[in-house]
Chains A and B, each alone.
Chain A
Amino acid sequence: MSKQLALVIDLNVCVGCHACVTSCKEWNTSGWAGPLPDTNPYGAQPSGVFFNRVQTFECGTFPRTETIHFPKSCLHCVDAPCVPVCPTGASYKREEDGIVLVDYDKCIGCKYCSWSCPYGAREFDEIQGVMKKCTLCIDRIYDTSLPPERRKPACVLACPAGARLFGDVNDTESEASRAIIDNAGYQLMPEWGTNPANHYLPRRKIKMTLHKDELVRADNPLKVEGELPKPHFNAPSIDEMSSW
């Protein structure tokens, strides 16, 4: 299989800190994909172009509630529905590594691709009049002027919880693939046949099983203190009834 770069996001450790959100904005606004403009930056109803958002969901009812922090950027779908619909060819999927990109010099800003993305991953830049989206930090990951260990997406480097893995999901030996295999990683809305390259790792719970007899131990300090109630010498024993 050819190379498919992607992110693997571990919901088990994501604390919803938004580091990936702003570090993405920060890297990309002054770089290849930038600027990412903000509208009403200091007024009512501010909004702006972000390639990555962290959403929050609640599941269940009190007290059995789970709070899920859910980061979402373009999933770089293998069968990306946003690509063929683009009338100009501005949206394309790179053969070399599966990254879905927009060529800003070709895009006419018709927004049609965004209608064909079920994940709501594209955002429109009103100033340049072009559609934008996560580039998988293509301008970092191949930049040979960066030290090799920093050739990773900005969001991945930022994430304090290490909840974002980056790698080739078609290479079963990559860290990203191993994480998917080992932790039942899954895709979003597989029913649409988009085959997203980004995967999510589910919550995993650690429980503790205790047996009653583990609570008391021979060297129990209460015993050392002489506080464990000892049965009285005269208390009934089996001697009264045994007959061997």
Chain B
Amino acid sequence: MQPAFSVLFLTTLIGVGQGMLVALVAGQWYYVIGSGEAWESDAFYAKGAAIALVFLAAGLLASFFHLANPQRAWRTATRWRTSWLSREVVVLPAVMGLAVIWAGVHWFEVKPVLLTFSNEKSLDLTMAVGFLAAGASIVLYVVTAMIYACVRFIREWASGWTVTNFMLMGLASGFTAAAAYAALSGSRLTDFLVAGAIGLTALAGVARAAHLWRNLHLAPPSTLRAAIGVRFEPIRQITPGFGGPSFNTTEFSVHGGAGSIRGLTWDFFLLAFLLPVLLLAAGGLSGEGPFTVFAFVLQLLGLIVERWVFFAQGRHVQNLYYQAQG
């Protein structure tokens, strides 16, 4: 498939935003259930949520570039019963709304206690909203990934791995972002977030590798025999019926093809997983903030490349009908 840059940015940027929300909420929860050291101020969470919101908003903005008629974008919310794309359109604002509320209750310290635990720590309103926001973020991963995973006609995408990966990569990048934020603001949560980022990045790398491995061994989804209903083989297309390009050749294939995909796969493994893990570890050990920031920047870049590869690798069944140049 032809990767659309708007979609690359949308999915990676909101992934970061969602992941950051989850990371920060996890940090807060970690304090609640943990040994009590990793306390952070409400302002820290509020600012963190704001940063996450920036990512979410940037993603949303990017998505508009994908629409030829953005003025009608509101309509996209109407088919949430059947369309994952529509569901995303519902859930993304929900996540953003929850993030705003979460930031708000922190900032204004609206934190009535809702529950007190045996370790004397308590679940207050900020925590509860945080859970909602984090939960919604997780749901959004599923929803976003399902947009692609439910396209049966692209076997590379139609897999649980798509969902797993969107989630793991989003979380990993979100944790890295949060770790960088924490490190820069000298937060006590830094170690926790760095550890989380390292763990999730490694996991995401492994899962992505597994997905790639799976895709290497996909049986062809359909045959030319079935496509045109003729049994007499071998079958070759002589012309698709036109001599130049068409929507069905530009949208469903990539310039550069297999060569660039292979090269970029190595690139993104390096950028999105290997280097960030090393940099995060270095940052964690040395306590130098810039390492984690650098890790995040590389990872985000790597994930954009990863997303490009993800799209480019999708081979659509319809291509059976568009094999020859006229």
Task: Answer whether A and B touch in the complex at a CB cut-off of 8 Å.
Answer: yes
CB distance from A101 to the nearest CB of B (A): 15
Q: Is B233 an interface residue when CB atoms closer than 8 A count as contact?
A: yes
Residues of A within 8 A of B82 (CB): 84-85
Of the candidates A56, A88, A112, A124, which one forms a contact with B238 in the assembled complex, judged by CB atoms under 8 Å apart?
Answer: A56
Residues of A within 8 A of B67 (CB): 108-110, 129
**With A59-B234, A115-B316 as given contacts, are A110 and B252 in contact (CB-CB < 8 Å)?**
no
What's the count of A-B pairs with C-beta under 8 Å? 177
Query: Is A86 in contact with B226, judged by CB distance below 8 angstroms?
Result: no
State in angstroms the CA–CA spacing of A110 and B152 once bound together: 18
CB distance from A132 to the nearest CB of B (A): 9
Give residues of chain B (148-169) contacting chain A, Cβ–Cβ below 8 Å.
150-154
CB distance from B178 to the nearest CB of A (A): 31
Residues of B within 8 A of A106 (CB): 72, 75
Residue with the greatest number of chain B CB neighbours at <10 A, chosen from A57, A67, A186? A57
Q: Is B76 an interface residue when CB atoms closer than 8 A count as contact?
A: yes
User: Contact mask A38-79 → B, CB, 8 Å, 1/0?
Assistant: 001000011111100111111111000011101010000000
Residues of A within 8 A of B240 (CB): 53, 55
Count of interface residues, chain B, beta-carbon cutoff 8 Å: 57
Query: Is A123 in contact with B247, judged by CB distance below 8 angstroms?
Result: yes
User: Contact mask A79-97 → B, CB, 8 Å, 1/0?
Assistant: 0010011111110000000
Query: Is A120 in contact with B236, judged by CB distance below 8 angstroms?
Result: no
State in angstroms the CA–CA spacing of A87 and B76 once bound together: 5
Q: Is B41 an interface residue when CB atoms closer than 8 A count as contact?
A: no
Query: Is A120 in contact with B252, judged by CB distance below 8 angstroms?
Result: yes
Residues of B within 8 A of A54 (CB): 241
Q: Is A111 an interface residue when CB atoms closer than 8 A count as contact?
A: yes
Q: Is B66 an interface residue when CB atoms closer than 8 A count as contact?
A: yes
State in angstroms the CA–CA spacing of A85 and B83 once bound together: 4
Residues of A within 8 A of B222 (CB): 118, 189, 191-192
Interface residues of B (CB under 8 A from A): 1, 66-70, 72-73, 75-79, 82-86, 89, 147, 150-154, 222, 224, 226-230, 232-248, 251-252, 316-319, 321-322
Interface residues of A (CB under 8 A from B): 11, 18, 21, 40, 45-50, 53-61, 66-68, 70, 72, 81, 84-90, 105-112, 114-120, 122-124, 126, 128-130, 186-192, 200, 202-203
